Amino acid sequence: MGAILFYCLLPFLYLLSILPFPIFYLFSDTICFLLYRVIGYRKKVVFENLKNSFPEKSYNELKKIEKDFYQYLCDLFLETIKTLTISRNQAVKRCKFNSKTSEIFEDLATKNQSCIIVMGHYGNWEWAGNSFSLQCKQQLYVIYHPLSNKYFDKLMYDLRTRFGTKLYAMKDTMREMIRNKNEVNATAFIADQTPAPDNAYWTTFMNQVTPVFWGTEKIAQKLNYPIVYITIKKIKRGYYEVDSELLVTEPKNTSLGEISELHTRKLESDIISQPSIWLWSHRRWKHKRNTEYIS
């Protein structure tokens, strides 16, 4: 059944990906209307997350963010499909690296230093990966969770590697990074996923007690790779800008929890600045900690 569905959808996805951008976003508006107004996809989850994250905001303010989020979510989904056929020039044009970002990665490459990139599900991280591989000297590796449907998993794999990005399955990350330690590369960690509660760093994030993956911090300390935090700002519809900050130069010298706190606070600041372009439909706070302890 999975194969039949996939091969029925594949021609439609390719057709969608070649649409001119004005028609492309008109189609996204249609999908958004259906998803938000008709189906109501995860509206309860989204609004609950927004209400708990912004207790100071009024109902109308929260509903405005909610509405803008659904437009962003539909755009993000379709923009990911657009990667099937988008040109190299368009990929770079629509997700630009600002001068500070280019300088950071150029400097690291000049020093033959590999690095760890830390970011959240914020902006268009898929297009940022494309732009990185087209513009930077480092080999980019992205950590991913394989999909259960092998056909759609292969499609996403091909999308993400089209411009030279390579992927690590999450369970193989440390082993693969050690194997590639003689290569000048950058490994991207999406740091706002939900870890198992009994193996997490706990902190406050968006006014809520939140578990954070230890992996980014522990691997960075072990390999002592500089950590670069990336922000993908939405400039206007269909256009993004990648901003970066060298967060930690020598992770081995940091204290327990320091790296996790640093990147969590950066992401929190980004979300407060432009709240509609974070993945609010994700059940980020589904786990609760039994013993109340805030690191």
Tokens 């991207």, located at residue: 188
d(CA 106, CA 3): 43
Averaged pLDDT score across all residues of the chain: 94
- From the CA atom positions of the chain, what is the Rg in Å? 19
**Once rounded to an integer, what is the mean pLDDT over residues 172-201?**
93
If one counts every other C-beta atom within 10 angstroms of the C-beta of residue 291, the result is 5
Q: Is the pLDDT of residue 242 over 90?
A: yes
Which band of pLDDT confidence, cut at 50, 70 and 90, is reported for residue 124? very high
**What are the residue ranges spanned by the domains of the chain?**
2-277
- Which candidate, 43, 20, 39, places its Cα nearest to that of 30? 39
Report strand pairing: 185-190 vs 201-205: unpaired
Q: Which two tokens stand for residue 266?
A: 């950066």
**Tens-digit pLDDT profile for residues 267-279:** 999 999 999 999 9
Residue 291 is predicted with a pLDDT of 53
d(CA 74, CA 25): 9
Tokens 């989850």, located at residue: 45
Residue 254 is predicted with a pLDDT of 97
Residue 71 is predicted with a pLDDT of 98
Q: Is the pLDDT of residue 196 over 90?
A: no
Phi and psi angles of residue 10, each rounded to the nearest 5 degrees, phi first: -55, -50
**Once rounded to an integer, what is the mean pLDDT over residues 215-243?**
97
**Tens-digit pLDDT profile for residues 21-50:** 999 999 999 999 999 999 999 999 999 999
Q: Is the pLDDT of residue 128 over 80?
A: yes
